[in-house]
Chain A
């Protein structure tokens, strides 16, 4: 396959960037998207140019590190996958592929395609946990039976990998799905109910402070989420927030 890549290049956070065009040859359908970029980088290094820097780590769709906007969609055109699981067989010979970093005011670019997602860290730090001691003097794991459906739903919400595709896809750069996933996981479990009121208020406050946009229910986040986190979680977040506001 022969392709034309248009890639955002930016030296560092304080520099301004631009799109640069790279032709590339010899790409096979079995390659992952990141392996295609490896090929490009190998060429660039051999030519004496600086390679394109991009975030990636596990390359099996679970760590949530890889983050790029491919032809206008986070993680590219395929569904329920991360960029590292996108394979070149989804593209055709002669295609032009536009590759950009995730864009949001709360996700400033660090270099090339790498963005700073510490805003997500701070949202988690604001309340994304259950305040139990970790030294191991707790009750037996089976002491509190949990309804299987609730446990399964909590698991589905907890599957979030924190990649930021929801923010990248949202026309408002809203982080509601991310925040909702964590709030939901704990809201559904009896262990998490104890501090549910404080949790939702603190996490939403931090989310707003970070400069993410407001949710307008377009549903783009749900479609682009590599883990298929449902919009129902956002409804649950709204519900939790409203009831927390009433309870004080």
Chain B
């Protein structure tokens, strides 16, 4: 880890690359999730694959967790360093005059997303782990869709998810485009890339919100 943090530029590159990786994961996650609305069988099939494929379980999943941790820990280190770089703060500081709220408050949107991840892990990941490795329940390729829909039955959870997705959107709004700048990609092509990242930052969380609301409104009746 020390090599990664040896210079300010290396640190931001780490933030950018881990962020880009998470963005990629988000896209993949969304692709699977949207099938829960349009093709429940596919959803079950893919979820089962993800849950039992050894490559996914023992390689990709740890990488993902590492990615989240690196992104979070590094973000936190950066925030602390950055606060220390201005020991006496301004009596009057007009941040809104020269930078967007999102870009200045990545730590807030990030922490909310992190808090959401805790809930999300509790809801799905812990559930999966205990199902598979604690309770040693049998494989059931058909259970995923029902379990997912069931989660969105209580309104509080649906609302929490929606709020978190809004914050995620804000986080992506700055973060996705910013990661290109961090790895040194800012030139005539970025004119095209920037709108695409913004589109992604809005559409993907909106999609997740749609899924949450859809399942909330269409509970499985037993």
Contacts and interface: CB of A to CB of B under 8 A. Distances in A.
Nearest to A230: B186
Given A218-B103, A232-B186, A237 B86 contact: no
A238 B182 contact: yes
B126 to A, nearest CB: 32
Contacts of B146: none
Interface in A203-248: 204-205, 207-208, 211-220, 223-224, 231-232, 234-242, 245
A37 B122 CA distance: 60
B187 A242 contact: no
A103 interface: yes
Contacts of B103: 216-219
B90 A100 contact: yes
B9 to A, nearest CB: 5
B138 to A, nearest CB: 48
A219 to B, nearest CB: 6
Given A171-B104, A172-B82, A204 B12 contact: no
A171 B100 CA distance: 12
Contact of B84 (A103, A105, A238, A245): A105
A173 interface: yes
B100 A172 contact: no
Interface of A: 6, 8, 19, 69, 71-73, 77, 98, 100, 103-106, 169, 171-174, 176, 204-205, 207-208, 211-220, 223-224, 231-232, 234-242, 245
Contacts of A174: 8, 82, 85
Interface stretch (B32-40, B55-63, B91-99, B204-212): B91-99
Contacts of A245: 10
Interface in B189-213: none
Interface string B15-31: 00000000000000000
Given A207-B8, A214-B81, A238-B12, 10 more contacts: A69-B92, A71-B94, A73-B94, A73-B97, A105-B87, A174-B82, A212-B8, A213-B84, A238-B183, A242-B13
A217 B87 CA distance: 21
Contact of A104 (B10, B85, B91, B92): B85
B9 A216 contact: no
Contact of A172 (B9, B85, B93): B85
Contacts of B93: 69, 72
A56 to B, nearest CB: 20
A217 B92 contact: no
B92 A242 contact: no
B181 A234 contact: yes
B85 A213 contact: yes
Given A72-B97, A223-B98, A208 B183 contact: no
